[in-house]
Structures are given as structure tokens and as C-alpha cells.
């Protein structure tokens, strides 16, 4: 080995050592972990998630009840909160499907080859003790499907994804400050 290659190895080793010392001795620690439900106040113990209503111009009759069940399950699994159906809740969460729209997502050879179903949900969180609204949010979740499918066919094929993605979007908007 020549002196030039020793200098290159030395410089590289020095840079690695400096980075190692800087990151291990720094008083500023960075955490990249994801914490679900990080914005839940410690005093909050009981919530009431009302049945999701459907106020969209097109109504998929089975979607709202299934979304309600999935949202309740998600809250119970991923938080320390208890669900009630009575008036003893500290927070009341109301959700409404406000839009259920279809648009063209892709065109090829002057034909539609992909469509997008977009489901919008309005969320209102009310403090049950003060009767004040503490949060109003809108979430919108897109679902792409083949342009050759009818809406009914697309709804059948997208149902599992919708029942996963929409409650996730609602949960994240309410509890994770996203």
C-alpha cells in the first residue's frame, strides 16, 4: 500500500469516528418510532362513536355500518379508550360520508382504463361534558379501479380495501394529529 491509500483510509476512518461520536454523544435524541393515538389526553377514558351516517348523493347502503364497526374495533385495539353506547362518554365522535364520487383516473388509446372512487368523510368530535365541538375534520380516501368495471363491480372488489383504509384515515386524523 502506498502512503496515498493510507491517507484515504485514515480520512475515511476519521469521518466515521466523528459521525459515531457526534450521534452517540449528542444530547438531542431523535426517535423514528410511530406512536398511534399520541394526541389522546390522559384524562380521556370513554368515547362514544356514533353510527356513521351517509349523506353523499350516492349511497352504498352497507358501507356506513361496516365502517362504524371497523372504526370502533380500531379504537378499542389501538388505544386505551373504552367505547360506550350510553351518555357517559367524555367524547362523542360523529362521522358522515359526505361524498362518494367517481372520476377518470387514466385514459389510454382514447378509452378510460382506470377510474377513481373517492370517499369523503366529515368528522366532528364533541366534548360531552361541555357540549363544545373540539374538532371538525374532513378526510378523503381515493380508490382506483379498472375502467372496464361497473361501479357495483368496483365496490365489491374494493370493499376490503375501503373497510381498511377509510377507518385508518379517520383514526389517524382524530388521534394522531396528522
> CATH number of 31-175: 3.30.450.270, 1.20.200.10, 3.30.160.150, 3.40.50.10580?
3.30.160.150
Q: What is the mean pLDDT of residues 3-31?
A: 46
In this prediction the pTM is 0.74
Domain limits, the chain: 31-175
Could you tell me the pLDDT band of residue 156, with boundaries at 50, 70 and 90? very high
pLDDT at 36 over 50: no
Q: What is the mean pLDDT of residues 58-63?
A: 93
Could you tell me the pLDDT band of residue 133, with boundaries at 50, 70 and 90? very high
18: enclosing H helix or E strand = helix 3-25
pLDDT score, position 41: 81
Higher pLDDT, 86 or 12: 86
Cell of residue 94, nine digits: 360523529
Measured distance CA(93)–CA(76) in Å, rounded: 14
81: enclosing H helix or E strand = none
Measured distance CA(109)–CA(173) in Å, rounded: 39
pLDDT score, position 25: 44
Q: What is the mean pLDDT of residues 55-64?
A: 94
Residue 45, helix vs strand vs coil: coil
pLDDT at 176 over 50: yes
Residue 105, helix vs strand vs coil: strand
Report how far apart, in Å, the C-alpha atoms of 165 and of each of 23, 102, 156 are.
37, 17, 15
Higher pLDDT, 29 or 72: 72
Q: Look at the block and give the residue holding cell 394529529.
A: 177
Q: What is the mean pLDDT of residues 38-58?
A: 90
For 18-22, 41-45, 93-97, 120-124, which range has the lowest pLDDT when averaged over its residues?
18-22
Higher pLDDT, 1 or 48: 48
Helix, strand, coil percentages in the chain from 3-state DSSP, rounded to 5? 35, 35, 30
Measured distance CA(91)–CA(125) in Å, rounded: 7
Amino acid at each position: 500500500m502506498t502512503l496515498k491509500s493510507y491517507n484515504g483510509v485514515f480520512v475515511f476512518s476519521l469521518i466515521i469516528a466523528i459521525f459515531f461520536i457526534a450521534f452517540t454523544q449528542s444530547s438531542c435524541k431523535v426517535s423514528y418510532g410511530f406512536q398511534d393515538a399520541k394526541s389522546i389526553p390522559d384524562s380521556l377514558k370513554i368515547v362514544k362513536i356514533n353510527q356513521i351516517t351517509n349523506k353523499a348523493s350516492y349511497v352504498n347502503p352497507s358501507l356506513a355500518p361496516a365502517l362504524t364497526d371497523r372504526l370502533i374495533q380500531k379504537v378499542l385495539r389501538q388505544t386505551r379508550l373504552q367505547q360506550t353506547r350510553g351518555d357517559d362518554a367524555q367524547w362523542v365522535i360523529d362521522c358522515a360520508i359526505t361524498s362518494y364520487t367517481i372520476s377518470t383516473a387514466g385514459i389510454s388509446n382514447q378509452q378510460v382504463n382506470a377510474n377513481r372512487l373517492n370517499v369523503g368523510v366529515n368528522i366532528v368530535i364533541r366534548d360531552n361534558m361541555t357540549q363544545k365541538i373540539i374538532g371538525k375534520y374532513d378526510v378523503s380516501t381515493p380508490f382506483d379501479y379498472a375502467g372496464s368495471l361497473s361501479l357495483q363491480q368496483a365496490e365489491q372488489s374494493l370493499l376490503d380495501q375501503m373497510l381498511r383504509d377509510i377507518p385508518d384515515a379517520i383514526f389517524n386524523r382524530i388521534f394522531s394529529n396528522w
